[in-house]
Amino acid sequence: MPGKPDPDRAAALQDWEEAFGSPPPPYLSVAFLRKSLGYEAQCKEHGRIPASTRRILRQVAEGRAVTVRTRQIARPGSHLVREWNGRTYQVEVLTKGYRMDGRDWPSLSAIAKHITGTTWSGPRFFGLVDRAGGTS
């Protein structure tokens, strides 16, 4: 039955536009708008879902089989050593990332690319996995 506009909806629409910079699709419920705004606030506070998790969720949504590798490639405090073109490189494994030559790196692949100048699988470059992708 037509009546007065829902004040909760008006507030939710305004909050949405402030958070996302554009109006929401017209068919979304106030409850969904609020849940989405809550999720967005969490993401801003704590960060988004990692790309690897999003990839797995997409596989589940598409009905594909998912295999999750939970092993850690190397424990924090470990040192990886690799010789390349006559120079020996030593990498320290940190809790989050890696350190080489006094510089922190987000991944072994970034380090391998820095060393070689080309794209490599970092774990493979440092001999941590075999060609089939399993652990050595």
What DSSP letter does each residue of 19-34 carry, written as one string? HHSSPPPTT--HHHHH
pLDDT score recorded for residue 112: 93
Q: Domain coordinates of the chain in residue numbers?
A: 7-61, 79-125
Q: Which residues contact 56 (CB under 8 A, 6 or more apart)?
A: 66, 68
pTM to 2 decimals?
0.46
pLDDT one-digit tens code per residue, 39-91 = 889 888 888 887 778 888 888 888 888 765 545 677 888 899 999 999 999 99
Strands (E), 9-130: 79-84, 87-94, 97-100, 103-105
Length of the chain: 136
Question: Does residue 22 contact residue 32 with C-beta atoms inside 8 Å?
Answer: no
pLDDT one-digit tens code per residue, 19-35 = 989 999 888 999 999 99
